[in-house]
Amino acid sequence: MAGETDLGQMLATLRPHVREGRFVLVSLDAPVDVPAEATVGEEEGVTYVVRLEVADRHGWPYDFIAGWVTLQVHSALAAVGLTAAVSTALAQAGIPANVLAGFFHDHILVPIERVDDAVATLTELSRLHASDEPAPD
């Protein structure tokens, strides 16, 4: 199933959803077998996004505790402008945003204490674009 490519439609249907839990990013020198929510291979090591409890259990250091917001719109991987629009709205609200792209959805890690603010900001962004949609014939 192809994802949405129309920026106005994507923004109008963001439907931000908070994933339960607290998440951290850790960087390890070598791959490990852990229940990771996401991984990114970098020259300096492997970055894992894991639940806070996993990092604490392993004694891994972290300095950013995040809430996880999923944009439920099914955006196409080749869509243009969604990340820029979302990150701009969050930046204007003073909310740091770390964006991860999945096959079906985009995910945003924000400071845990700003999750509600991020959802409110994204919901307002979506509402503004939904009101711009033309009425059906």
As a whole number of angstroms, the distance between CA 131 and CA 5 comes to 19
Assess contact for 81 and 7: CB atoms under 8 A: yes
pLDDT for residue 105:
92
Q: Phi first, then psi: what are they for 28, rounded to 5°?
A: -120, 150
pLDDT for residue 133:
55
pLDDT for residue 91:
97
List average pLDDT for each run of 10 residues in the chain, which is 137 residues long.
Answer: 84 94 94 91 92 96 97 90 95 97 94 98 93 57
- Across 12-44, b (16+ Cβ under 10 Å) vs e yields bbbebeeeeeebbbbeeeeeeebebbbeeeeee
List, in order of start, the domains of the chain with CATH numbers: 7-130 (3.30.2130.10)
